[in-house]
């Protein structure tokens, strides 16, 4: 979080940005964020209001609940999205994977990080013909660099196709996809 924390003093605001800008398809509501961050609803409410006033968040009402999500149309969205990925070390993970692992077809971030929750455990789903020995070495080195634990699941393209329904139910973010099909 060092990139963002040096620019933004509020830890709650950083957590909101991490949560909503890592995976812009996700949305969250006040109580959910308050519970996840272990801070008071009024603290979260103030930050959501400021981010909404700045145009960085969109909100929609669902019954009595207001859901918030990143405003992907905001001119700063691409930069904030990129900063969040860098803060979480996703850029470093992907760069290393692409350089060293063989025939990677797709890379997904799944579960907590796909929801924008920085739990310290990064779950990656890698699809393709991957060199598992290089992957283990790479994971160890990258974990030290990003100060987070990385758990990988490697599937061939056929295995992924057979299990796609299972993964459609999980939170996931496509990090990378091969352009050559």
> Worst-scoring range by mean pLDDT, 6-10, 48-52, 65-69, 87-91?
6-10
pLDDT of residue 169: 85
Greater confidence, 7 or 68?
A: 68
How is 22-75 classified by DSSP, letter by letter? HSTT--EEHHHHHHHHTS-HHHHHHHHHHHHHTTSEEEEEETTEEEEEE-TTST
Distance CA 64, CA 71 (A): 21
Domain that holds residue 28: 2-82
Tell me: do 157 and 126 sit in the same domain: yes
Do 67 and 104 fall into the same domain? no
pTM: 0.61
Q: Same domain, yes or no, for 10 and 41?
A: yes
Q: How confident is the model at residue 9 (pLDDT cuts 50, 70, 90)?
A: low
Q: Look up the CATH number of the domain holding residue 35.
A: 1.10.10.10
Q: Are 103 and 134 contained in the same domain?
A: yes
Residue 25 binned pLDDT confidence (cut-offs 50, 70, 90): confident
Same domain, 77 and 115: no
Q: State the chain's mean pLDDT as an integer.
A: 84
Residues 107 and 155 in one domain: yes
CA distance 120 to 146: 10
- Number of folded domains that form the chain: 2
Looking at residue 4, its pLDDT comes to 46
Please indicate, yes or no, whether residues 124 and 153 belong to a single structural domain of this protein: yes
Give the domain CATH number at 112: 3.30.460.10
């Amino acid at each position: 979080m060092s990139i963002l924390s040096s620019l933004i003093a509020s830890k709650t605001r950083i957590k909101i940005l991490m949560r909503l800008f890592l995976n812009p398809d996700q949305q969250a509501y006040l109580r959910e964020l308050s519970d996840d961050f272990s801070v008071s609803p009024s603290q979260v409410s103030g930050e959501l209001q400021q981010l909404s006033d700045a145009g960085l968040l969109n909100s929609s009402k669902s019954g009595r609940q207001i859901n918030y999500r990143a405003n992907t149309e905001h001119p700063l969205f691409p930069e904030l999205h990129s900063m969040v990925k860098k803060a979480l070390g996703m850029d470093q993970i992907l760069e290393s994977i692409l350089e060293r692992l063989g025939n990677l077809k797709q890379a997904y971030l799944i579960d907590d990080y796909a929801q924008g929750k920085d739990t310290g455990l990064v779950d990656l789903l890698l699809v393709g013909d991957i060199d598992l020995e290089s992957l283990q070495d790479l994971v160890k080195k990258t974990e030290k660099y990003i100060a987070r634990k990385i758990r990988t699941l490697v599937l061939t393209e056929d295995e992924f196709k057979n299990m796609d329904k299972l993964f459609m139910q999980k939170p996931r973010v496509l990090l990378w996809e091969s352009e050559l099909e």
